[in-house]
């Protein structure tokens, strides 16, 4: 269970550790403290004597000193102390492990993946990107947002809904017809003390109602689709039986 972790810590008997064995448990804890954790000074390690009758009491104090949160579960306790030792080992030799990781990343055997999507090369925080989004927004008559990503989202929505293949072939089916809805007069109860805020609040309410209607339409379509299966069972008359 702990073989790989203890092997990384170079524990001499990592192949034969039994965390449920009390003696083995104590031996591993003492080795971790003496070689890796080193919470106590060498001359003041009360847990070093694994045969002491006070070892459990000393171990409980040791747990408090290293802030171990685990209570009365030998395997979990042992795993916690092994992880603490690994953390100490990494911090102590951080530069060595980081260098080793970089060498692996720069290994010639590592495949060099070249992305095909040109969008992967874009710098979404650059000035060129911001200016490009603004130019497209002006072309499509979309108001620019201070955040170019939000403007780009609006552009994407317009293109998907109004400039898709079906919309281009049948524009009459996608062009909104009729008189504009008088939302300023129809929606009452908004007085935020500012004309612009009142308009914005009313528009947000209309968008919210539109989303609710869209959700209701999709819910109804789902119900009808399910009912077409459950409410129209097909009967195999060949299985029918007359009489006894």
Domain shared by 16 and 44, yes or no: yes
pLDDT for residue 105: 59
Task: Judge if 88 and 158 occupy the same domain.
Answer: no
Question: For residue range 4-54, what is the model confidence (pLDDT) as tens digits?
Answer: 888 888 888 877 788 788 888 889 889 889 888 888 888 888 888 888 888
Based on the domain organization, do 97 and 189 belong to the same domain? no
Kindly report the average pLDDT of the chain as a whole number.
Answer: 82
| Rounded mean pLDDT, 54-61 | 90
- Say which residues have a Cβ less than 8 Å from residue 61's Cβ, sequence separation at least 6: 46
How far are the Cα atoms of 162, 221, 224 from residue 230, in angstroms, in the given order? 37, 14, 10
What pTM was computed for the model?
A: 0.42
Answer yes or no: do 9 and 79 share one domain: yes
Give pLDDT, residue 205: 86
Same domain flag for 146 and 189 = no
pLDDT digits (tens, 9 = 90+) for 212-236: 999 999 999 999 888 887 766 665 6
- Select the highest-mean-pLDDT range: 25-29, 96-100, 112-116, 240-244: 25-29
**What pLDDT is recorded for position 235?**
59
Cβ neighbours for 137, distance < 8 A, ≥ 6 positions apart: 143, 144, 151, 154, 155
Mean per-residue pLDDT for 100-110?
A: 59
**Does 187 lie in the same domain as 169?**
no
With bands split at pLDDT 50, 70 and 90, how would you rate the model's confidence at 198? Answer: confident
Residue 206: pLDDT above 90? Answer: no
**Is pLDDT above 90 for 136?**
yes
Is the pLDDT at 201 greater than 60? The verdict is yes
Give the mean model confidence (pLDDT) for residues 56-67. Answer: 89
* Domain enclosing residue 165, as ranges: 126-177
- From residue 214, give the alpha-carbon distance in Å to each of 56, 157, 164: 66, 16, 20
Handedness of CA 125, 128, 134, 136 (dihedral sign): negative
> Which alpha helices (H) appear in 93-194, and where do they start and end?
94-105, 127-139, 148-162, 165-169, 183-186
Residues 98 and 49 in one domain: yes
> Are the C-beta atoms of residues 155 and 133 closer than 8 Å to each other?
yes
Greatest mean pLDDT range, 96-105, 116-125, 166-175: 166-175
Token code pair at residue 165 = 């293949």
Alpha-carbon distance 62 to 71, whole Å?
13
């Amino acid at each position: 269970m702990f073989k790989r972790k203890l092997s990384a810590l170079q524990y001499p008997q990592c192949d034969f550790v039994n965390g449920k064995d009390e003696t083995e448990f104590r031996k591993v804890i003492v080795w971790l403290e003496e070689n890796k954790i080193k919470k106590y000074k060498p001359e003041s390690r009360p847990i070093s004597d694994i045969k002491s009758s006070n070892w459990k009491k000393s171990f409980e104090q040791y747990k408090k000193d290293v802030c171990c949160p685990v209570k009365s579960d030998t395997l979990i306790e042992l795993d916690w102390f092994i992880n603490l030792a690994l953390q100490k080992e990494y911090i102590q030799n951080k530069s060595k492990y980081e260098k080793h990781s970089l060498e692996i990343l720069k290994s010639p055997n590592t495949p060099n993946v070249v992305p095909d999507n040109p969008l992967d090369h874009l710098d979404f925080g650059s000035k060129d990107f911001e200016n490009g989004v603004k130019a497209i927004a002006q072309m499509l008559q979309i108001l620019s947002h201070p955040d170019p990503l939000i403007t780009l989202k609006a552009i994407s929505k317009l293109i998907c809904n109004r400039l898709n293949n079906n919309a281009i072939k049948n524009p009459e089916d996608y062009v909104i017809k009729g008189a504009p809805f008088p939302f300023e007069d129809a929606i009452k109860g908004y007085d935020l003390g500012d004309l612009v805020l009142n308009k914005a609040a009313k528009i947000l309410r209309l968008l919210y109602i539109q989303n609710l209607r869209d959700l209701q339409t999709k819910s109804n379509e789902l119900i009808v689709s399910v009912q077409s299966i459950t409410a129209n069972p097909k009967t195999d008359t060949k299985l029918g039986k007359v009489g006894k």
